[in-house]
Structure 1
Amino acid sequence: MPAPTPEQDRAADLVFGARRELADRYVAHLAGSGIVRGLIGPREVPRLWDRHVLNCAVVEELIPESARVADVGSGAGLPGLTLAIARPDLRVDLIEPLERRVQWLTEVIEDLGLEHVRVHRDRAENLADVVDVDVVTSRAVSALTTLVPWSVPLLHGEGRMLAIKGRSAAEEIAKAEKVIRRAGGGNAVVLTAGRELLPEPTTVVAIDVGSVGGRIGPGGSGR
């Protein structure tokens, strides 16, 4: 398992708190069976802590206490499993259509004892009648023009979409304005997470749907 740098070690302690040991075991899964079974590329092993796990886990600061969360295109559990480890108060639904990824996620969830996590083997656009959440997350799944119609229906008229993006986040919002409005989304903004923990904070596109404040309130850690 790749060892974190002293800076990453401190950040992991702050993000995961008393559940840091679970985060270590998750990274071991990624670096082991995750590589063998093709969920993570071998070249990503040295960057698992900073580029993947911590980059995703800091998004927890944008999620309110006791929220219901759906992670679209969960893949190797990024960000869904990192959020579930950091925040035991959340109820997390991982949405992933590929069987081999679903099997791996199921094995990791069972090994870590994450009873507040469920896995759905399906596409997000097929699950609006099954999944009803407060927050929808995603990372490296698709452009907003495609991602918004997949994600917003899972909020059932009220909630928040949080999509981890790169430097072109503002451009994606501009291109997706009509799609966002058509789907029922309201204000779309670029936020950062982990500013005080990471040398490169995580860029997140946040799209509010309905009266978000009345249903899920402000973001904050539930640890």
Structure 2
Amino acid sequence: MPAALPPVPEAAHRVFGERLGDAMRYAELLADVGVRRGLIGPREVPRLWERHLLNCAVLSEAVVEDVTVCDVGSGAGLPGIPLALVRPDLRITLLEPLLRRTTFLQEVVELLGLDHVTVLRGRAEEVLGAGVFTPVHVVTARAVAPLDRLAGWGIPLLRPYGEMLAIKGDTAHDELKGARAALAKLGVVDASVVQVGADVVDPLCTVVRAEVGESPGGVRFAAKRAKAARRRGGRRPH
């Protein structure tokens, strides 16, 4: 018998809106098929909503409109699937090297009708040279690897002036401090720690944002991000 899911929290109604039913179906799949296939641990089921679905969905606050996203090491689809549910304007690639995980991801994408999501099997360090991947505006990641190693995989997937958003939790500041030299070698021109999810998750979702250098091809994206910052009231990162 699959572990019982906790009740749907009130915040999920606000965050997922009309896609709440799909979020519930995804949570049920994680609690059942996800556990049986070893994609998540059974102990995670009681905290699926707060720790996983909502904590990933609020990453949308840091992503500007109408851009391309690659979720590196997507695993069971976190944060890519919750992000896709709340942001139909994004074109998202779920990048994952393991077959059993990409099989699950493809099943979820088809079941939920996520036409703006593509599942791609492969390693981040291999897909560019294989000609099956186009650089994106935003790379996302959660619980994949230490920041310096993650950056080596994710930063090369970015378009000029793109950014990597890595959900990191309590280790964010220390990881960023230790990875600054490696980030600079990869072309990162600005890196900071931001928090999202106020009034939704507690503790807040902590994210390391790493931006690569500007170029003529990135001006339009830079303008999008500046506009988004103004909409958020000019809040500055921590």
Per the normalisation by structure 1, the TM-score is 0.93
Task: Tell me whether 1:90 sits opposite 2:90 in the alignment.
Answer: yes
Partner residue of 2:117? 117
SS in 2 for 1:32: helix
> Quick check: 212-221 or 198-207, which moved more?
212-221
Partner residue of 1:134? 137
Q: 1:88, 1:210 → 2: CA distance?
A: 27
Give 2:65's aligned amino acid.
E
Partner residue of 1:215? 221
Superposition misfits of 4+ residues, deviation over 6 angstroms: none
- Which residues of 2 match residues 8-87 of structure 1 at below 5 A? 9-87=9-87
Aligned equivalent of 1:202, options 205, 211, 236: 205
- Could you tell me how far 1:178 is from its partner in structure 2? 1.1
- Could you tell me how far 1:13 is from its partner in structure 2? 1.6
Partner residue of 1:193? 196
Aligned equivalent of 1:166, options 164, 169, 172: 169
Q: 2:200, 2:180 → 1: CA distance?
A: 31
- Could you tell me how far 1:199 is from its partner in structure 2? 2.0
Q: 2:22, 2:189 → 1: CA distance?
A: 36
Q: Which has the higher contact order (CA 8 A, sep 6+)?
A: 1
Per the normalisation by structure 2, the TM-score is 0.87
Structure 2 unaligned spans of 5+? 232-238
Deviations 1:65-124 (A, max 9, x none): 111100000000000011011111110000100000010111111111111111111001
SS in 2 for 1:186: strand
SS in 2 for 1:118: strand
Is 1:39–1:101's contact at 8 Å kept on the other side of the alignment? yes
> Quick check: 66-75 or 17-26, which moved more?
17-26
Is 2:6–2:47's contact at 8 Å kept on the other side of the alignment? no
- Could you tell me how far 1:213 is from its partner in structure 2? 6.4
SS in 2 for 1:95: strand
- Could you tell me how far 1:209 is from its partner in structure 2? 1.4
> Quick check: 75-84 or 166-175, which moved more?
166-175
SS in 2 for 1:2: coil
SS in 2 for 1:156: strand
Structure 1 unaligned spans of 5+? none
Give 1:168's aligned amino acid.
T
Q: 1:81, 1:16 → 2: CA distance?
A: 12
Q: 2:72, 2:163 → 1: CA distance?
A: 13
> Quick check: 17-26 or 74-83, which moved more?
17-26
Q: 2:86, 2:15 → 1: CA distance?
A: 6
Is 1:157–1:184's contact at 8 Å kept on the other side of the alignment? no
> Quick check: 148-157 or 45-54, which moved more?
148-157
Number of residue pairs the alignment of both structures matches? 218
Sequence identity (%):
48
Q: 2:23, 2:157 → 1: CA distance?
A: 27
Partner residue of 1:181? 184
> Quick check: 150-159 or 82-91, which moved more?
150-159
